[in-house]
Amino acid sequence: MKKLTAILLILVMMFSLAACAPKAEEEATGTDLPSIGVTIYKFDDNFMSFVRRAIENAAADKATLELNDSQNSQATQNDQVDTMISKGVKALAINLVDPQAASTIIEKAKAADLPVIFFNKEPDAAAMASYDKAWYVGTTSSESGVIQGQVIVDAWKANPAWDRNGDGVMSYVLLKGEPGHPDAEARTKYSVETVVAAGIQVQELELQTGMWDSVKGKELMDAWIAKHGDAIEMVICNNDGMALGAIQSLNAAGYFEGDKFMPVVGVDAIPDALEQIKEGKMVGTVLNDAKNQGGATFDLALNVALGKDPLEGTSWTLDETKAVRVPYVAVTIDNIAFAEEAYK
């Protein structure tokens, strides 16, 4: 009888330990943390790689991330969103491949009653207004163009020798981002308009899309140097990735040696571009604050995943379009240290 009792006690203890195991495993793996589904339009985009890192850093010990590379395919991103929903994420953070696809993502989020934070690529106002659980984190697109234009104005006026033929006209080439992208359209428009508003005459030699890509930027610059040579007096780039490609091309053509110089301006203030400014090969850029964009995206996503107000416990504010706007800042050699701090 005693032997039977002992066996029964052992069996009870074994079942108790087995019942506790899942809970212990859950605590060990951190699955009690809220899960947030994140997509980036493509991981190898220079700027978005820093936004992604900021999101990952902010998520440490606070949430688990279902992180996806959409590889610049909206169809792939749509499938990724379906998969994340099926896995039971508590919120979505979406860097759209195509801003026009926002309504499709919103319909998926609505059907699952999930909040969604769009970031960096802004949906149109109608899409945002269609769902009370949709918010946006990004910038005011026109601001970057205006600031870039002012960087060009200040540098051009300070360096009259850049007008090589002395005709009083700035002859420029412009590397545009993805056609239809709000940032690409605004930067292209407002950078040049700001220069003209300052009383500087301009001549557009070339304007083509480099799709935000440094390789495409280099290829286009190669062709433009071959076609126009020193008739080019300013290289305007919608982002630093394309600016870095243009500088590669200019280096190969013998620029930045002796007195042979070509002014190049970009947007984003990524670390590689800051190095080019320090080396005197880039006039300036505009800080597109990846650290704060990523941080704000995660802050809002975490709050809504926990059922809280999106701004609870944060210093962010929403405008009338339910958007957190992270400001741009002009960057030249004079404030390079400030820009470098944004990546620490």
pLDDT above 90: residue 1: no
Domain parsing of the chain, residue ranges? 35-139+289-326, 142-287
Instruction: Tell me what the mean pLDDT of segment 323-331 comes to.
Output: 96
Task: Record the tokens describing residue 168, joined without a space.
Answer: 């009083």
Instruction: Specify the CATH architecture of the domain 142-287.
Output: 3-Layer(aba) Sandwich (3.40)
Q: How far apart are CA 301 and CA 296, in angstroms?
A: 8
pLDDT given for residue 23 in this prediction? 39
pLDDT above 50: residue 328: yes
Q: What is the CATH number of domain 35-139+289-326?
A: 3.40.50.2300
The per-type count for the chain, helices as H runs and strands as E runs, is 12, 12
pLDDT above 60: residue 295: yes
- Average predicted confidence (pLDDT) for the chain: 92
pLDDT given for residue 31 in this prediction? 57
pLDDT band at 14 (very low <50, low <70, confident <90, very high): very low
Q: Cβ distance 291 to 53 under 8 Å?
A: no
Instruction: Tell me what the mean pLDDT of segment 262-287 comes to.
Output: 97
pLDDT given for residue 182 in this prediction? 87
Question: If we measure between CA atoms, which residue out of 257, 229, 252, 212 comes closest to residue 173?
Answer: 229
pLDDT above 80: residue 239: yes
Q: How far apart are CA 42 and CA 39, in angstroms?
A: 9
pLDDT above 90: residue 244: yes
**Helix/strand/coil for 337:** helix
pLDDT given for residue 344 in this prediction? 75
pLDDT above 70: residue 289: yes
Fold match between domain 35-139+289-326 and domain 142-287 = yes
